[in-house]
Amino acid sequence: MNIAWIIFVLLIIILLQGMIYNKWGLKGITYKREFKQKTVFEGETIEMVDQIVNRKLLPIPWIRLESKISQHLVTEALENKAGGEEVFHRSLFSLLPYQKITRTHHLTAMKRGYYPLDTVSVTTGDAIGFGESFDSIEASTAVTVYPKIVAIDEIPLPSHSWLGDISVKRWIIEDPFLHAGVRVYRAGDPLNTINWKATARSQKMQVNKKDYTADHHLMIYVNFDTNEDIRLPIENPERLEEALSYAASLAAYTIEQGIATGFGCNGYFVEPFTNTLERIKPSIRVGPSSSGSQLDYILDTIAKVKMDRSRNFRAFLEEDIEQELSDTDIILFTRQVSEKVEQKIAQLEQLGNAVEVVLLDQFTEKAGEEYAS
């Protein structure tokens, strides 16, 4: 056999194996991936597991998997790569007949958020590399990254704040159903608390004295406003990310102390947890509770907040006023307090609420001055 016949036979073999891999290369290939942990805190490492199976007799010389992944889920291979919101994660395999390969990737969660992974692009080809076949495989999974939890003394609370004493003093409020005797009338006491029998006996105005209860409600709010016009982008969103971290940390502390705690902000949920067709998306509120699952609920809510506004904060507080919110203490993390927001705060206080404002930018300036000195 001369060289021409050898070349001809080789070309036929190359052509045949190319046709075989083009037709059956992706047949019987199954793939799935999952995160070993469904939730993780910002800064922690999470494991993502790839599992690919070749369910046929034909070996696969190479197969490449490509999928988009958020740049905030950093692998060692992508750690030094800059890009947009998403980058490509690639894996290369070689499969024998009926072989299953499992591969674990270690990712670092760099930012709070909800990170879904959907389809995977699959590419394979013949051993020579003359042809390639493409397909997409549905491999949905997701991980929720909770905000970073900081120590209570790292939260920029005012020095006069009641939260400084919360570990040794439970909040108490008068309970109208618990009676603890009578006392002398003081200016401002409501007339319906006057005890007329005791007044007649003592010849002095007496009122019913109420006992106290530790059933206290706390709402932690974060104001996303950096300007009144919600169509304008949020300026310096990193400061608001810090505020969300403070809110989560404060909630962890107060719930541990047995205080019914809730959360709210004038943002809205990321997809698919919000209806994108709604013109005005619902603002976010988690009612106060001290149950065992409340902290997880608040952390999950904060993780899924989109850095955008459903309405300005004035309108957000107006919702509380319309609902006649009362007997609740509110701590507000904000970068600014406009005149309109001050008016809403005053209305909430008139309804019997207490509002504590933490100005984030003011705290930053003070911290800078202390560092400079």
Among 90-99, 107-116, 213-222, whose mean pLDDT is lowest? 213-222
- Classified as helix, coil or strand, 276 is coil
**Cα separation, 146 vs 249, whole angstroms:** 11
- pLDDT given at position 343: 95
The 10 Å Cβ neighbour count of residue 234 is: 17
Of the ranges 203-207, 288-292, 297-301, the best mean pLDDT one? 297-301
- pLDDT given at position 188: 63
Q: Spell out the domains of the chain, with CATH numbers in brackets.
A: 28-146 (2.60.40.10), 152-171+214-372 (3.40.50), 174-213 (no CATH)
Q: What is the pLDDT of residues 333-369, one digit of tens each?
A: 999 899 999 999 999 999 988 899 999 876 544 444 4
Mean pLDDT of the chain: 82
Q: What is the pLDDT of residues 316-338, one digit of tens each?
A: 999 999 999 988 889 999 998 99
Query: Taking residues 189-200, what's their average pLDDT?
Result: 74
Residue 18 identity (one-letter amino acid): G
- pLDDT given at position 7: 74
- pLDDT given at position 365: 46
- For residue 166, pLDDT over 50 is answered with no
Predicted model pTM:
0.77
Q: Are 240 and 335 in contact (CB under 8 A)?
A: yes
Measured between its terminal Cα atoms, the distance across the chain in Å is 91
Q: What is the pLDDT of residues 219-231, one digit of tens each?
A: 999 999 988 788 8
